[in-house]
């Protein structure tokens, strides 16, 4: 890219968390606009990813960056600093390669990088390395601060388990967890029911029937909003029930479930227990986990409670956190896919039509077996296995990442990549392995 010949550019800004010391999205874009105006470049679009961590997400998985790449032709992408695009060296290089493939270059306002020369590219990579080092340093500081809070018996932040709340620390600075007197009796009875042998679904129905408030202060707005199996299962697996603290507290409510026995321990390896928070003993908690685990798989349920599901997504979608295939199942008699490890779920009632629409819209005209994808799909009719073969033939990868519990279908959870389109005859290309049937 020759910066003296650039005429059209796109602006990109990203921010993880808005804080006083952060350079806001608006300030980033303002600096990028001034840069473009000073060089007489035409701005064809402004794209942002607000509240998105560059450490957690790759550029190609972000909504704003994907929208930028799908826009009309541009010659350059202007960012404020290299770390606004990526905090991992490989992520930065992959994003830069994507821009190069479409004949565009990368420009940073605060980092004088020139991606057209070997020296400039080396300097840009060094900046990306420093960004990755800074991210690692931030993580180390957060881990150290959290460890100190736990050692002092204080609340380390994050989601609060149902039946508990945070309160001012009576013995010093910070906050501590205490029982929520308005909700603890619902939790205590739910645990007692499970220990007596009640199924998780039965506990969920009871909580709904008696009008127990939903987690997070949620209120019922329509009649069909109720407690569900996943929420109750998470509630019953939280080690705080025995007064123990999860090894990695502070996870958001939508984050994956941790090992219930991965708890904070003392120098002798024994769990640290706060009796003031416990509703059961450690032995009762362990027994509860064994009961839940024995009923965790669909095969453990009564045959009358099982429901056959469509094989359309069998061994197709992977959990982005655990990198394992998501399984078919049902929740309240509605079809879902779920991760067998972290238990995240996604309703198929909306997801299947969404996936089919994208397949036919984005790949319908692609050649497939002497016809097109659209033709083969139509010929498959209601044969779910035949439809699955059509889908798999076009997929490079399909990954599902976590969303917020209770939120309606969010397409940002779906990380979908189609296979590369066939190149002209005589042009070599790397082959992509088929997904297993």
Contact 25, 50 (CB under 8 A): yes
Would you say 327 and 338 are in contact if contact means Cβ atoms under 8 Å apart? yes
3-state secondary structure at position 25: helix
Instruction: Match 């078919």 to its residue by tokens.
Output: 328
CA 146 to CA 178: how far, in whole Å?
A: 18
Tokens for 102, please give them: 């479409």
What residues contact 83, with CB distance under 8 A and at least 6 apart? 54, 127, 128, 131, 134
SS (H, E, C) 165-219: EEEECCCCCCEEEEECCCCHHHHHHHHHHHHCCCCHHHHHHHHHHCCCCCHHHCC
Give the strand pairing for 395-400 and 414-418: antiparallel
Sheet containing 8-15: order of strands: 42-50, 8-15, 76-79, 105-108
CB 11 within 8 A of CB 67: no
pLDDT of residue 375: 94
The pLDDT value recorded for residue 298 is: 52
Q: What is the pLDDT of residue 258?
A: 53
The CATH architecture annotation of domain 8-139 reads 3-Layer(aba) Sandwich (3.40)
CATH class of 164-296: alpha beta
387: its two tokens: 């439809």
Average confidence (pLDDT) per 10 residues, the chain, 437 residues: 73 77 82 91 92 84 91 86 82 84 85 64 68 70 69 70 85 82 92 92 92 72 68 90 72 51 76 85 90 66 59 92 90 86 89 94 92 93 92 94 74 91 54 43
Q: How many CB atoms lie within 10 A of CB 176?
A: 19
Question: Which secondary-structure segment (H or E) carries 235?
Answer: helix 229-236
Q: How many residues does the chain have?
A: 437
What is the Cα–Cα distance from 300 to 315, expressed in whole angstroms?
Answer: 21
Residue 49 has a pLDDT of 92
Domain definitions of the chain by residue range: 8-139, 164-296, 311-418
Bridge partner residues of 83 (DSSP): none
CA angle (204 as vertex; 200, 208 as ends), nearest 5: 170
What CA–CA distance (Å, rounded) separates 42 from 33?
Answer: 10
Q: What is the pLDDT of residue 431?
A: 42
> Is 226:232 a contact under the CB 8 Å cutoff?
no
Please, is 55 exposed, middle or buried when counting C-beta atoms within 10 Å of its C-beta (0-12, 13-18, 19+)?
middle
Place of tokens 């769990």: 271
Query: Coil, strand, or helix at residue 1?
Result: coil
What gap in Å lies between CA 42 and CA 303, rounded to an integer?
A: 65
Both tokens of 125, joined, read: 């990579």
Tokens of 397: 């990868």
Determine the Cα–Cα distance for residues 285 and 281; give it in Å rounded to an integer: 6
């Amino acid at each position: 890219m020759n910066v003296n010949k650039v005429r059209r550019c796109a602006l990109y800004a990203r921010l993880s968390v808005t804080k006083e010391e952060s350079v806001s999205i608006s300030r980033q874009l303002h600096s990028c606009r001034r840069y473009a105006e000073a060089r007489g470049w035409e701005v064809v679009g402004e794209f942002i990813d607000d509240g998105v961590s560059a450490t957690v997400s790759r550029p190609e998985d972000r909504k704003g960056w994907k929208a930028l790449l799908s826009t009309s032709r541009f010659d350059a992408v202007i960012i404020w600093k290299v770390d606004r695009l990526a905090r991992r060296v490989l992520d930065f290089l992959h994003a830069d390669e994507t821009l190069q493939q479409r004949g565009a270059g990368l420009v940073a306002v605060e980092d004088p990088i020139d991606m057209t020369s070997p020296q400039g590219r080396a300097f840009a990579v060094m900046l990306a390395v420093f960004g990755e080092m800074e991210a690692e340093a931030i993580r180390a500081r957060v881990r150290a601060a959290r460890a100190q809070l736990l050692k002092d018996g204080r609340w380390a932040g994050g989601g609060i388990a149902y039946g508990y709340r945070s309160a001012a620390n009576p013995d010093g600075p910070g906050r501590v967890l205490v029982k929520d007197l308005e909700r603890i009796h619902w939790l205590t009875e739910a645990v007692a029911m499970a220990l007596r042998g009640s199924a998780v679904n039965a506990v969920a129905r009871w909580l709904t029937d008696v009008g127990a408030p939903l987690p997070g202060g949620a209120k019922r707005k329509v009649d069909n909003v109720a407690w569900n199996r996943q929420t109750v299962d998470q509630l019953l697996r939280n080690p705080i029930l025995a007064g123990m603290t999860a090894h990695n507290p502070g996870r958001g409510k939508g984050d994956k479930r941790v090992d219930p026995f991965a708890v904070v321990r003392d120098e002798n390896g024994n769990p640290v227990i706060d009796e003031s928070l416990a509703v059961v003993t450690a032995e009762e908690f362990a027994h509860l986990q064994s009961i839940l685990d024995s009923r965790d798989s669909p095969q453990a349920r009564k045959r009358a409670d099982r429901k056959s599901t469509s094989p359309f997504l069998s061994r197709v979608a992977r959990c982005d956190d655990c990198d394992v295939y998501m399984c078919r199942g049902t929740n309240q008699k509605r079809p879902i896919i779920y991760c067998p490890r972290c238990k995240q779920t996604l309703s198929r009632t909306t997801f299947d039509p969404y996936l089919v629409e994208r397949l036919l819209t984005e790949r319908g005209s692609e050649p497939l077996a002497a016809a097109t994808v659209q033709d083969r799909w139509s010929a498959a009719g209601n044969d779910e296995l035949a439809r699955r073969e059509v889908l798999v033939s076009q997929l490079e990868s399909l990954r599902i990442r976590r969303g917020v519990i209770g939120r309606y279908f969010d397409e940002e959870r779906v990380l979908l990549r189609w296979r590369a389109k066939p190149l002209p005859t005589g042009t070599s290309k790397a082959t992509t392995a088929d997904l297993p049937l």
